[in-house]
Structure 1
Amino acid sequence: MRNIQQLFIYATISIILSACKSDTKEETKEIKIAKTEIKGDCPKYILDNKKNNLNISVFLDLSDRITQPKTIQKDTEYLKSVSKAFTSHVKTKKLIFLQDQMQLYFNPEPTNDAINAIAEKLHIEFDKNSPKAKITETEELYAGQPAEIYNLALADAKNPKDFPGSDIWQFFKYNVKDYTISNCHRNILVILTDGYMYHENSQIKEGNLSSYLTPKSLHRLPLSNSKWETTLNEKGYGFIKANENLEDLEVLVIGVESLNPKNPYAIDVMRAYWTNWFNEMGIQKFKIQNADLASSVEKVIEGFVNP
């Protein structure tokens, strides 16, 4: 009888200890989950849908490139295509999941208040309370207002020498994280530029690296023959790294064209400069598109925004 009682006691103790171990495992598991929980400044159902929430920023290069009428014509068509890709995406979403936005940037900020007022109009946000009419309104705004920006910029600087340049390098160094990256969205930056980079107040050089690339500076480099890539890599030519940890940003550069007629490899060199620069800053998805017919580039834009 005593042996049976002892066995009963042992069995009871074993059950209790087993239950305690199980509770400990469950508690540990819960603590681990709590530590890895993702936090954001938007509702959880929006954060969970992050990759389907578009945050498109467009950077306009308002340097002397816009003194060419064909550049303005192409840029305005490219902008129409970007807004069309944006609204096409919005149309596919359920109303409750709408959390999408699109905006326009320059650097430096134009001194003309009228340009800034237009840029403010082109800051579009969609949420669950947005009316359907806003889709059409967005397309109309981006079809008409950008041309006015170029006209105003040209009126302010009628001579190409009056253009100080567009500071893309400084924008990446000081503004890109604050202006174009949201932890609740898929972040896309579209840059309309000719591929060169220059501003009179941002001319930094460190060895064979620089914060700028102009037709004149490119002409001085030994990169005009078929061995340009080997020379570029061996000499370390390129842009100075402006930022880091930009993994949450996708970049589409549109409008690259050569202003170096004596260098048949100029576009290849520019593409290498941009590619290496993006890689060094941690940007994982990007595309560098040459200036081309608007109808051709529209397909590129649509494929990038809505893959």
Structure 2
Amino acid sequence: MKPQEKKAIFKTLEEKFSGNLSKINQLTISQKNYIGSDIWRFFKNDVKDYAVTEDNNYRNILVIITDGYVYHKDSYSRNNNRTTYITPDFIGKENLRFGKWKNKFNNGDYGFITTRKDLGNLEVLVLEVNPAGNSLNDEDIIKEYLSKWFKEMGIKKYYIHNSNLPINTKSRIEKFLK
């Protein structure tokens, strides 16, 4: 695209983002049968095909909009304390919410099962992390899981942000893109 075309598209992002995020939330809530979004398997199988080009004229940027929990009914595996998922129930059952959870996380080698280490030229922006209401540490735990996973996959630039007002989310996107 020409620079003018890119700028025109960028100017419409805020409206599209806000409107589509609202539609996605409404659709998910109305279905009442949430099977999950298979973020783990996307990174395992598809991220290089869909989000990475070797052309140095481009930045490879992947934006993930999520509540932060990673779950899909068909990607539910565990190897010791490494999993393909993180849910509110899992965090509770593992007693990660309270006390010195970070020590337990690090000493117990908690995290996602990592299947690749070749994503050094991918940048990831995670937006709208919004953990369950009564789980005060879940946001920190989610960020720790994702950060560890991204580092293990070789991702050098990533940011993980919680839910916020659309105007604040917009400024976070702009900062990331600069």
In the alignment, structure 1 residue 265 sits paired with structure 2 residue 146 = no
In the alignment, structure 1 residue 172 sits paired with structure 2 residue 43 = yes
Distance change (3 Å), C-alpha of 1:193 and 1:156: closer
TM-score (norm. length: structure 2)? 0.86
Distance change (3 Å), C-alpha of 1:182 and 1:287: same
In the alignment, structure 1 residue 231 sits paired with structure 2 residue 104 = yes
Write 1 or 2 for the structure with the bigger share of helix.
1
Count of matched residue positions in the alignment of Structure 1 and Structure 2: 176
TM-score (norm. length: structure 1)? 0.52
**Structure 1 stretches of at least 4 aligned residues deviating more than 6 Å after TM superposition:** none
Distance change (3 Å), C-alpha of 1:200 and 1:303: same
- C-alpha contact 2:118 2:153 (8 A) present in aligned 1: yes
- C-alpha contact 2:91 2:97 (8 A) present in aligned 1: no
In the alignment, structure 1 residue 242 sits paired with structure 2 residue 115 = yes
For the residues of structure 2 that align with 1:150 and 1:299, how far apart are their CA atoms? 19
Distance change (3 Å), C-alpha of 1:201 and 1:269: same
- C-alpha contact 1:170 1:242 (8 A) present in aligned 2: no
In the alignment, structure 1 residue 205 sits paired with structure 2 residue 78 = yes
For the residues of structure 2 that align with 1:293 and 1:145, how far apart are their CA atoms? 12
Name the structure 2 match of 1:217: 90
Name the structure 2 match of 1:44: none
Distance change (3 Å), C-alpha of 1:244 and 1:233: same
Deviation at 1:298, TM superposition (A): 1.9
Q: C-alpha offsets along residues 135-164 of structure 1, whole Å, 9 cap, x if unaligned?
A: 435644773487368648856983322x21
Instruction: Decide which structure has the larger Cα Rg and report it.
Output: 1
Q: C-alpha offsets along residues 190-212 of structure 1, whole Å, 9 cap, x if unaligned?
A: 11111100111110111111001
Name the structure 2 match of 1:276: 148
Name the structure 2 match of 1:285: 157
Q: Which amino acid aligns with 2:136?
A: P
Deviation at 1:275, TM superposition (A): 0.6
- C-alpha contact 1:194 1:256 (8 A) present in aligned 2: yes
- C-alpha contact 2:14 2:170 (8 A) present in aligned 1: no
For the residues of structure 2 that align with 1:264 and 1:141, how far apart are their CA atoms? 31
Deviation at 1:299, TM superposition (A): 1.8
Q: C-alpha offsets along residues 164-208 of structure 1, whole Å, 9 cap, x if unaligned?
A: 110000100111011111112211111111110011111011111
2:126 to 236, 244, 253: 253
CA RMSD of superposed structures (Å)? 2.5
Q: Unaligned stretches of 5+ in structure 1?
A: 1-125
For the residues of structure 2 that align with 1:272 and 1:284, how far apart are their CA atoms? 15
- C-alpha contact 1:254 1:289 (8 A) present in aligned 2: yes
Name the structure 1 match of 2:175: 303
User: Identity over the aligned pairs, expressed in percent?
Assistant: 35
